Each structure stands twice: as structure tokens, then as C-alpha cells.
Structure 1
Amino acid sequence: MKAIKRSATGIVVSMLITSAAFAVQVDLNLWTAESYPAVTGFPAGAWTVNSSGQSVTQVANGQPTLFYSDFNVRGMDVRGSVSVANGDDDYIGFAFGFQPGDTSNAAADYLLVDWKGATQFFDFDGLSTTPGTTAVEGLAVSRVTGVPTADEFWGHTDFADDPSGGVAELARGATLGSTGWVAGVEYDLQFLVEEDRLQVFVDDVLELDISGDFPDGRMAFYNFSQGGVTYRAFTRDTIPPGPCPVIPVPASLPLVILGVAGVLIRRLRG
């Protein structure tokens, strides 16, 4: 009978952890760096992957730069962590639906989730011919089209007199919309990316939840004027089709498990 009980328990445990069993570790050695056109005084991004391929650090305090995946992200549940080593206070973030070459693509169209450490006005010179803008402290999601200027990235702006592109802010974080990231803190992140919905969790809190018609494409890490950023231990899994079942009262979960186990044991005894 002990063997039967262990078997039944194993079935129940298997039912509960099946969704986590198929998560795949992301190999960052397969990702590619791409930066926007140079801005005076701001170098291109410098991305360095560690020997295991499980983490990457961007060290340059420079122009908007991305490090994009070898896979399309639609239908994926992606998880990992990010931390900043130094005390600067600019942008860290992620892109969804990015396509290789989008930094010079007039037809680019992707979502950008970025997080500013502190509010700051700045006017970029050089190739950024648009007026200066204010970057607001906190977490936000925006839609990027075409090839925005550095000022448009900085202030989440789409200037009418710049037809080449723009950045349109869609929403700000539920609890972090006006709160900057903190140097030395590692944040756990989860992204649920669907054709018509994007959900962003930070430390298990749902911060962003937007709906719309979103293009498919790569996932990318994103930095702007921020060095010393490390992205680590990312995994990806497929989002199950259809709505996920929810137990209304979390405290009832142990009773459900015991009930299912009891039924299985009785059937095996019979």
C-alpha cells in the first residue's frame, strides 16, 4: 500500500508542476546587440555575455541600445532578473516585437517597457534635432514606431515635426509608475506576451496590463544612458491556450490536493 500511496501522490505533484517543467533556460550567447544612431557624446551599447550564457551586462552610458533574442516572443511566459550596479539614474528596460534592423527601419513597430531611476530634463545634440524632453521617474510601457530621436525616447514623445518616428506612452506601472529603480537591488520580472495583451510583473506584483493589437517579433533588453546593468537567469515557456483555472480561495488548495489524492488511492486499491 505504501507504494500505491507514493504513486498517487506523485501523480498529484506532477499535475501541479507540469507548467513549470517545460521552462527553457535562455542562452544569451545567441542574442544580438543593436544600437540606435550615434548621439553626440553618447557611445554605442557594449553588451558582454558571461561564459555560461546565463547573464549579460551592458556597461556603456550611451545611446538607446538593445540586445535582442534569437526567438519570437509572442505566446511566451518569460522570466528573469535585472539589477544595476552603479548609482546613475537613467533607463533600463525591455522591448517586445522588436525586429532585427529596427534601429534604422522606418516601419518599425514594437512595445517598449522602460524604467527611469529619477526624473530628468535633457536636450540631446547631434543627430537628435528635436527639442529637449523630460524623462519621468518610474516604470512605463510605450509603443515605438519608425526611428525616434533620442529626445523622443527620453521623454516618451512623438513630435509632429519629426515624421521619422516617435514614442507614444500607453500606461504607467500600478505601484512603480512614479518610483525609480534602486541601484544594488535585483528585481524579479515576469512577462506574459500575447497577440493582444502584455502583462508585466515586478517582484510578483502586476505592474502593467495592456490590451491591443501588438506585432510579433523578438524580445530585447534595453538601456538608454545607463551602464552597469545586468540581466540574469532568463527562462521562457509557452503560455497555455485558453483561460487558466483559478481557485477562488487559496487556503482551499491543500484540501483539493488531499481530495484528489484520496480518490486516486481508493481507485488504485480497488
Structure 2
Amino acid sequence: MKTQLIALAVASAISLAPDVASAAPVDLSTWTAESYPAVSGFGAGVWTVASGGGSVTQSVNGQPTFFYSDFNAIGTKITGKIKPGSGDDDYVGFALGFRPGDSTNSTANYLLIDWKQGTQGFDFGTPSSSPGGTANGGLAVSLVTGIPDADEFWQHANLAGTSAANGLTELARGTTRGNVGWVVNTEYEFTFDFGPNDLEVFVNGVKEIDITGSFADGRIAFYNFSQANVVYSAFTKEVGTFPPGGGSVPEPTTIVLIGLGLAGLGFRSRKNAGS
């Protein structure tokens, strides 16, 4: 009887574990492109999804452009690969909490994780009215509010000449890649573990960003700015460590151990009752 109880507990625990740990592939064919207003000399992004929906390529060296999911990101862990090509040396990355229409939304509020290959100065033309400045090479996370112009995206700043409600506030830089740019034609694996009050970002298994705050829910989006020939591929989604209701999600091994513990208690109770 003890063996039967343990087997039943283990089977029940294992049946629960896939809901916690299994990562499902993401179909990029259901995602949507959205670009900020055109900057002089920089066109809208063009996102081309491969047959089967497993990858997408952004092919225009243009304005800030996004390719956002059909699901909200809070409470999830999302993993996938990015491969920047030789189109330029500018920004590739992601957004979390992005909402459809945020490119023209004066109350937009989302996180931008972007990575620039090298430090560079530039001043964008119309309709960007802010002064030009320097974009620092490396990986960073910023809070985006309102409708920033191109120079504000470029500098991670809220600049003179625009509304105080519009701009970027840099929150942190990568632990090991904060001042290190990406390498052309090199593939990197990113993982985002995103909750209402937590964000952890891993690159090739190394935790680069770990911040807390109060974060708005919304979509995950791919992001390019002044960078062409970028491929995103092999994305998966699973239940994250930080669920919307607070607390944390137990590991599958924890579930199995709980099941074994319950089986042991059940056996002891039967033994005591029969003694």
C-alpha cells in the first residue's frame, strides 16, 4: 500500500509540473509591427516573418520600431535568440509592457531593454526637435514615458524642447555588458523573467539586469532603432517566477517533494489507524 501511495503522489506531482515548467514555442506570425513617427532619412521598420512563424527579420535602418506579441508579458518567462547583422552599429533590443498604439500614446509607460554596438554622437532631423547627443554603447534598461522623439530614444533622456511627460529614464546597465556592444553576426540568447514588481534579464545564461519597481502590464516587443538586418528566432514562453498575484512559482522538484511528503503522511496515518 505504501508503494501505491508514493506512486500515486509522484504521478500527480509530475502531472502538475508541465504547467509550471514547460516552455511553449511562440508563433511570431500573430505579432504586429508598429513604428514611431518617421524621422528625416529614417523610414518605418519592415518586419518579415519566416514561414512557420519561428523567426522574424527586421530589414530597415530606420526610426524606433517595434514588433509586439499577441499576449501580455507579466507573469511569464520568455526566452529566444537575437542575431544583429551588419546593417549598422546601433540599437537592437526588446520592450516589456508595450501596448498597441504606444507610439502615439501620451500616457505610454513601458520598459525598454536596448543594446548598442558602439558609442556614437548624432542629431536627428524633423520631427525630432531635441538637441543631438551621445548614445552609449552597451546594454541598458530604461523607462519610456509618453512619446519620446528620436534624440531621446538615442540618448536615453528627457531633453529640452519636448514635454516633460515624454522621454526615457535609464534605470540600470548590464552587469557585464553595460559598456560592451554586440558583435556583428553573433547570436545571443535572451531570457526575460517579468513580474509586476520584478524584472530579470539574462544574456547567454548570465544575469545582466535585475531591477524592482511597479511595472505596467503589456506586450513583449522586439525593438530596433537605426539598425537593419536583425533576426529574432526560437522564442518560447512559460510561467515565470513572478506571477501577477505576487509570491513565486514553485520549482517542479519542489512539487514532486511535496507529493512524496504527502504520500508519507498518508501512509503513516493509515499505519497509526491500524495499530
TM-score (norm 2): 0.83
The CA deviation string for residues 69-123 of structure 1, in whole angstroms up to 9 with x for no partner, is 0011110000000001215210001001111111011111100000000000000
Counterpart CA distance in 2 for 1:47 and 1:245 is 37
Q: Is the Cα–Cα contact under 8 Å of residues 138 and 178 in structure 1 kept in the other structure?
A: yes
Distance 1:102 1:244, change over 3 A: closer
Give the aligned partner of residue 49 of structure 1.
49
Please show how residues 1-270 of structure 1 align to structure 2 within 5 Å: 14=14, 18=18, 22-86=22-86, 88-163=88-163, 165-239=166-240, 242-243=247-248
Deviation at 1:239, TM superposition (A): 1.9
Partner SS, residue 152 of structure 1: helix
Q: Is the Cα–Cα contact under 8 Å of residues 157 and 169 in structure 2 kept in the other structure?
A: yes
Of 23-32 and 198-207, the range deviating more from structure 2 = 23-32
Of 195-204 and 157-166, the range deviating more from structure 2 = 157-166
Counterpart CA distance in 1 for 2:160 and 2:198 is 28
Counterpart CA distance in 2 for 1:160 and 1:87 is 31
Q: How many pairs are equivalent? A: 250
Counterpart CA distance in 2 for 1:179 and 1:145 is 26
Q: Which runs of 5+ in 2 are unaligned?
A: 268-275
Give the aligned partner of residue 271 of structure 2.
none
Partner SS, residue 152 of structure 2: helix
Deviation at 1:13, TM superposition (A): 11
Q: Is the Cα–Cα contact under 8 Å of residues 74 and 218 in structure 2 kept in the other structure?
A: yes
Aligned amino acid, residue 79 of structure 1? T
Q: Is the Cα–Cα contact under 8 Å of residues 133 and 152 in structure 1 kept in the other structure?
A: no
Q: Which runs of 5+ in 1 are unaligned?
A: 247-252
Aligned amino acid, residue 90 of structure 1? D
Partner SS, residue 154 of structure 1: helix
Give the aligned partner of residue 250 of structure 1.
none
Counterpart CA distance in 1 for 2:45 and 2:142 is 21
Counterpart CA distance in 1 for 2:248 and 2:35 is 38
Counterpart CA distance in 1 for 2:13 and 2:58 is 40
The CA deviation string for residues 24-45 of structure 1, in whole angstroms up to 9 with x for no partner, is 2111111000000000000100
Distance 1:49 1:157, change over 3 A: same
RMSD: 2.7
Q: Is the Cα–Cα contact under 8 Å of residues 128 and 151 in structure 1 kept in the other structure?
A: yes
Counterpart CA distance in 1 for 2:50 and 2:13 is 35
Counterpart CA distance in 2 for 1:143 and 1:21 is 30
Counterpart CA distance in 2 for 1:53 and 1:99 is 21
Aligned amino acid, residue 166 of structure 1? G
TM-score (norm 1): 0.84
Counterpart CA distance in 2 for 1:244 and 1:71 is 20
Aligned amino acid, residue 170 of structure 1? L
Aligned amino acid, residue 127 of structure 1? P
Deviation at 1:152, TM superposition (A): 0.2
Counterpart CA distance in 2 for 1:13 and 1:215 is 33
The CA deviation string for residues 219-261 of structure 1, in whole angstroms up to 9 with x for no partner, is 1000000000000011111125534669xxxxxx9xxx9xx8x
Counterpart CA distance in 1 for 2:132 and 2:15 is 55
Aligned amino acid, residue 184 of structure 1? N
Deviation at 1:21, TM superposition (A): 5.1
Counterpart CA distance in 1 for 2:19 and 2:86 is 36
Percent of matched pairs sharing the same residue: 53
User: Could you list the runs of 4 or more consecutive aligned residues of structure 1 that deviate by over 3 angstroms after TM superposition?
Assistant: 10-21, 240-246
Counterpart CA distance in 2 for 1:11 and 1:71 is 31
